[in-house]
Amino acid sequence: MSVRILLLGCGAFGRVHLRALARLGAAAEVRAFDPDAAMRGAVASEFADLRFAESVEAGLAWCDAAIIATPVPTHAALAEAVLRADRHLFLEKPAVETAREAEALARLAGTRGRIAQVGLYFRFHPKALALRALVAEGAFGPLHYLAARFSGLKRARGDSGALLNDAVHFADLLPWIAGAPVTQVFAQLADPLGRGREDLALVQLRFADGAIGLIEAGCVLPGRWPDAVVPGAETRKEVIVAGRDALAEVDFAAETFALRRGRHAPGPGGAWLPGHAARDASEPPAADPVAVVAAELAAFIDAVATRRAPEAGLASGAVAPARILDAARRSAQEGRMVELEEIA
């Protein structure tokens, strides 16, 4: 069965969605809407056969499901319109700006009986999937540290700061990998550009199992690799996971995966010495952004067809990370550790 999909928003990542949908072939029939005539023209030059809806309302009358890839402040209202039209929803990250908005959308999707999936890119990346599987099978033993860096030298988006644009990815991914929720957040935010948004964020985490974590995000730091989506940007997209029995470093921009098994053990003079093996030779496959988004959309289309709840639904994919980011804002404002219970 082909699903009729309306794409709302034809910016840089909207075009990645169009390429991913083209890669899926007959699984989806696609139309698009963007209020910007120049944006429509640019997209039409790349996708000659793409048809455009005359309005959001006309597109919703035609489609079975909608993808929202518009600026962040428009997400809540558009997502509500999609769900109230009884259409299924794929909502790009960050789903919405606050946990309260995320909770309202989750309730609405449940009331209307609609499939709603959040565009959590890294959950569908082969290297993140491999890392999570290793943690789940106990290869790391008890975890003690998870860290992520999503930063670089790039444009400061006009619709969001470092928390919503970058940190949101790993506010979702680290608990997902750990298999444990975050219980405490301490954050420091900075506005080095003086534009009224945090363009640098450091977020410390405490997980329910006792592990600690750190997220670095921002657009004013040195990058290491060319960004695969935004031309001219330099980026770092890295995750570290450390446990009693193994250590791992994943660089999503360079497509490297370094796993070392072993543990510290008592040695002479009371010292504890590392006994870790060389890097594991196994390497999860690489994936370009179009392939990862295609995997996300294939899962969404399957959920629509089968009416199975998506793994990256609104409760886990929107509410949970939004609560962490809400706690980060509160922590930075009040200068203290914030319990997640305070954000419930």
Q: What is the pLDDT of residues 101-152, one digit of tens each?
A: 999 999 999 999 999 999 999 999 999 999 999 999 999 999 999 999 999 9
The alpha carbon of residue 313 and the mean position of all alpha carbons in its chain are separated, in whole angstroms, by 12
Q: Is a pLDDT exceeding 90 seen at residue 311?
A: no
Token code pair at residue 114: 């609609």
Residue 1 burial by Cβ neighbours in a 10 Å radius (0-12, 13-18, 19+) = exposed
Q: Which helix (H) or strand (E) holds 28?
A: strand 28-33
* C-alpha atoms less than 13 angstroms from C-alpha of 16 in its C-beta half-sphere: 21
Query: pLDDT at position 229, please?
Result: 79
- Kindly list the distances between the CA atom of residue 264 and the CA atoms of 56, 127, 244, 245, in Å, as whole numbers in the listed order: 58, 26, 8, 8
pLDDT value of residue 343 = 81
The arithmetic mean of pLDDT across residues 198-205, rounded, is: 98
Do 8 and 70 contact (CB within 8 A), yes or no?
Answer: yes
Residue-wise pLDDT for 21-65, tens only, equals: 999 997 789 999 999 999 999 999 999 999 999 999 999 999 999
Beta bridge partners of 92: 119
**How far is it, in rounded angstroms, from Cα 272 to Cα 251?**
29
Cα–Cα distance between 335 and 50 in angstroms, integer? Answer: 50
Q: What is the mean pLDDT of the chain?
A: 95
Find all residues with CB under 8 Å of 16, minimum gap 6, and list them.
229, 289, 290, 293
- For residues 161, 72, 51, 119, the Cα torsion angle rounded to the nearest 10 degrees is 90
Q: What is the pLDDT of residues 220-244, one digit of tens each?
A: 999 999 988 788 899 999 999 999 9
> Model confidence at 281, in pLDDT bands (50, 70, 90)?
confident
CB 172 within 8 A of CB 99: no
CA 185 to chain centre: 19
Q: What's the mean pLDDT in 150-155?
A: 95
At 170 the pLDDT is 97
1 pLDDT above the threshold of 80: no
The segment(s) of the chain belonging to CATH 3.40.50.720 are 3-121+291-312
- Are the beta carbons of 31 and 51 closer than 8 angstroms? yes
Strand partners, 218: 151, 200
pLDDT digits (tens, 9 = 90+) for 170-185: 999 999 999 999 999 9
Q: Which residue has the tokens 């506010």?
A: 171
Residue 88, both tokens = 């299924």
Q: Which CATH superfamily is domain 123-286+323-334 in?
A: Dihydrodipicolinate Reductase; domain 2 (3.30.360.10)
3-state secondary structure of 200: strand
Average pLDDT over residues 184-209: 97
pLDDT attached to residue 182: 98
**Between residues 203 and 281, which one has the greater pLDDT?**
203
Average the pLDDT over 78-99 and give the result: 96
The segment(s) of the chain belonging to CATH 3.30.360.10 are 123-286+323-334
CATH topology of domain 3-121+291-312: Rossmann fold (3.40.50)
Coil vs helix vs strand at 325? helix
